[in-house]
Amino acid sequence: MPVVKEREYRNVAAPLSAAAAVKQFNSDYYVEGYATTFDTPYVLYEFEDGDKYYEKIDRHALDGADLSDVIMQYDHTGRVYARNSNNTLKLTADTKGLLIAADLSKTELARGLYEDISAGMITKMSWAFTVAEDSYDRATHTRTILKIKKVYDVSAVSTPANDGTSIAARSYASGRREAEQRETLEKRAAMLRILTTI
């Protein structure tokens, strides 16, 4: 699946792992991990001059979100390894974040992904979603995602960052930075007008 412009993609540091015990499925190919965590700010984007913009997911952001037919992929592309509509993927919003559990026993390729996760070759997760509501704190440069409209996929990822994440993050952070710079210039111009009339 190609990166879709309207969707936002985020990678998280929370580990994806092959669980030692079979928990939610009667399967020897069980994996679990967090697609995102709640209320913990992370660096969304860092500019070359060192300015950092942050983001956090509100713990109630998934309340009412469309979680129908979410799929599990690898690096957000093509192959579907599990999906909640056929009960091979379970999504649970708990106090920490969005916990995913997947049964990767149904196809040879899914079992191969399980082996890569079990061997520690793939240890990170990402997710694709659209935002319904957010807020921005200019003082801390922090975006808070208050409401998710739809979750499209959760993905095992090869690296903790990908082009889709970088593009979405840069686009949002650049827009916020430009707005802040514009406001600062407008305030300076207004102050200069006041000073020249005195």
Give 59-118 pLDDT, tens digit per residue: 999 999 999 999 999 988 879 999 999 999 999 999 988 988 899 999 999 999 999 988
What digits encode the pLDDT tens for the residues 104-148? 999 999 999 999 988 888 888 888 899 999 999 999 999 999 999
Total domains in the chain come to 1
**Within-domain flag for 3:** no
**Within-domain flag for 1:** no
194 pLDDT more than 50: yes
Q: Domain range for residue 102?
A: 8-197
**Within-domain flag for 62:** yes
Neighbour count for residue 83 (Cβ, 10 Å) = 17
Alpha-helical runs (H) found in 37-144: 108-118
Residues belonging to the chain? 198
Task: Please give the pLDDT value at position 90.
Answer: 92
Closest CA to 12 of 165, 130, 143, 138: 165
Write out the two tokens for 135.
């807020």
d(CA 19, CA 118): 8
- Region at 141 (left for phi over 0; alpha for psi -120 to 50; beta for the rest): left
**Within-domain flag for 139:** yes
